[in-house]
């Protein structure tokens, strides 16, 4: 367990900190050293949507009916009101309601 | 810190000067920092629940409170911390440490993509300010800063403010979780577990620009779902993001 090797724990922690920091700066650093042509620009434009879709779609499907109902409410409110705060609030409220109904 | 290029707005945000007088050119102001911190407030309940859960897991794993908070303050990556704690080896060998670090890099690989999107926003700023700011890079301030920039904001301190607000929340809220041990309530009861996915969905709505200009979004989602079904783990994020990214080449302008 962690307690038995306190020194090792701190060494691993330092290495993890370095690895995580490298992931945070690597993308920014790399892109600054590439020439951005039209293809690369289109790829970068598509990046935020790709990451967000890739993150949320499996959550949506694995979350079952509760997640589907709640996140549909979020999308609906967002399309109508265009205010993300209220969209998230609606989704969370529906999720809490769905839990109360045993979903 | 008296280098000649130091901007007075850095150290003395309240004093009137040409930079802060014009919001179009203001950089690294306290006003931008504060706005960034306020913009991530909707994420605080979700992060709090997650931090408390992490504190609970850390306590169960036999970590001291100091070790628990130190990990949050240095690594500052919730999923990494949870996954690594969960799979911490019985004895530390070269192989098991390499495994921990490979897992860390894999889980956090999505930040390579996230960081790439920041080059157009922060590319003109000095490296000595950008690289320390990137230590605080997490998803909520990233999302909020993309929105802030798309609405015409130009102060990079916005993302730093959001990042620091998330950092303080993440580190301190592990304390009640640690103390409470196993007694954290069910986050599903209040829908807290869906705050982050809901924000992602809300972000997707304005990113949708019709089917012929949203290939990245469609392919990214479908590829992630397929990979998740076939392989599980964290591969779906990397595969979905890369597939969406390459599909984006075919978007209409």
Please give the residue of chain A at the shortest CA–CA distance from B91: A1
Note the pLDDT tens digit of each residue in B55-65: 887 887 788 99
Q: Which range (A60-69, B77-86, B209-218, B222-231) has the least confidence?
A: B77-86
- For residues A78, B48, B137, B32, the Cα torsion angle rounded to the nearest 10 degrees is 70
What are the sequence ranges of the domains in chain B? 23-196, 205-253
DSSP string for B9-49: HHH-TTS--HHHH-TTT--S-HHHHHHHHHHTGGGHHHHHH
The mean of the pLDDT values for chain B is 83
Q: Which range (A32-36, A52-56, A82-86, B130-134) has the least confidence?
A: A32-36
Cα–Cα distance measured from residue A88 to residue A82, given in angstroms and rounded to the nearest whole number: 11
Interfacial A residues in 43-62 facing B (CB < 8 Å): 43-62
Please give the pLDDT value at position B147.
93
Please give the residue of chain B at the shortest CA–CA distance from A92: B191
Tell me the pTM. 0.69
Question: Between B6 and B60, where is the model more confident?
Answer: B60
Q: How far is B21 from chain A (nearest CA, A)?
A: 29
Please give the pLDDT value at position B28.
94
Average pLDDT of the segment spanning B195-222: 87
- The partner residue sitting opposite A25, judged by closest CB among B134, B189, B208, is B134
Q: Report the length, in residues, of chain B.
A: 253
Which span out of B94-103, B142-151, B202-211 was modeled with the highest average pLDDT?
B142-151
Question: Between B8 and B54, where is the model more confident?
Answer: B54
- Which value does ipTM take for this structure? 0.77
Q: Is a pLDDT exceeding 50 seen at residue B130? A: yes
Please give the pLDDT value at position A102.
83
3-class DSSP state of B75: coil
Q: Tokens representing A82?
A: 């265009």
pLDDT above 90 covers a percentage of chain B that reads 42
Question: Between B180 and B204, where is the model more confident?
Answer: B204
Cα–Cα distance measured from residue B132 to residue B100, given in angstroms and rounded to the nearest whole number: 25
Cα–Cα distance measured from residue B62 to residue B181, given in angstroms and rounded to the nearest whole number: 11
């Amino acid at each position: 367990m962690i307690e038995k090797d306190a020194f090792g724990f701190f060494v691993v922690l330092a290495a993890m900190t370095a690895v995580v920091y490298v992931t945070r700066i690597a993308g920014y650093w790399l892109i600054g050293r590439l020439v951005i042509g039209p293809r690369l620009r289109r790829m970068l434009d598509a990046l935020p949507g790709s990451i967000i879709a890739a993150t949320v779609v499996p959550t949506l499907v694995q979350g079952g009916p509760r997640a589907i109902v709640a996140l549909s409410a979020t999308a609906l409110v967002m399309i109508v009101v265009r205010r993300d705060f209220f969209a998230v609030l609606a989704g969370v409220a529906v999720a809490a309601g769905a839990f109360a109904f045993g979903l | 810190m008296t280098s000649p290029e130091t901007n007075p707005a850095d150290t003395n945000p309240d004093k009137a000067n040409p930079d802060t007088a014009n919001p179009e050119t203001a950089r690294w102001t306290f006003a931008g920092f504060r706005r960034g911190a306020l913009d991530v407030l909707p994420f605080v309940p979700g992060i709090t629940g997650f931090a408390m859960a992490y504190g609970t897991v850390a306590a169960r794993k036999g970590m001291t409170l100091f070790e628990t908070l130190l990990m949050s303050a240095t690594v500052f990556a919730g999923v990494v911390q949870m996954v690594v704690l969960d799979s911490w080896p019985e004895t530390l060998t070269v192989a098991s440490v390499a495994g921990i670090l490979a897992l860390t890099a894999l889980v956090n690989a999505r930040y390579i993509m996230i960081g790439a999107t920041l080059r157009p926003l922060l590319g003109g700023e000095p490296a000595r300010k950008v690289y320390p700011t990137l230590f605080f890079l997490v998803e909520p301030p990233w999302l909020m800063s993309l929105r802030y920039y798309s609405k015409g904001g130009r102060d990079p301190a916005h993302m730093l403010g959001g990042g620091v607000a998330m950092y303080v929340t993440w580190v301190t809220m592990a304390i009640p979780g640690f103390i409470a041990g196993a007694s954290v309530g069910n986050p599903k009861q209040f829908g807290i577990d869906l705050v982050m996915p809901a924000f992602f969905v809300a972000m997707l709505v304005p990113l949708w620009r019709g089917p012929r200009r949203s290939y990245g979004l469609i392919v990214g989602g479908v590829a992630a779902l397929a990979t998740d079904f076939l392989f599980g783990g964290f591969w779906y994020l990397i595969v979905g993001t890369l597939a969406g990214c390459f599909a984006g080449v075919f978007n209409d302008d």
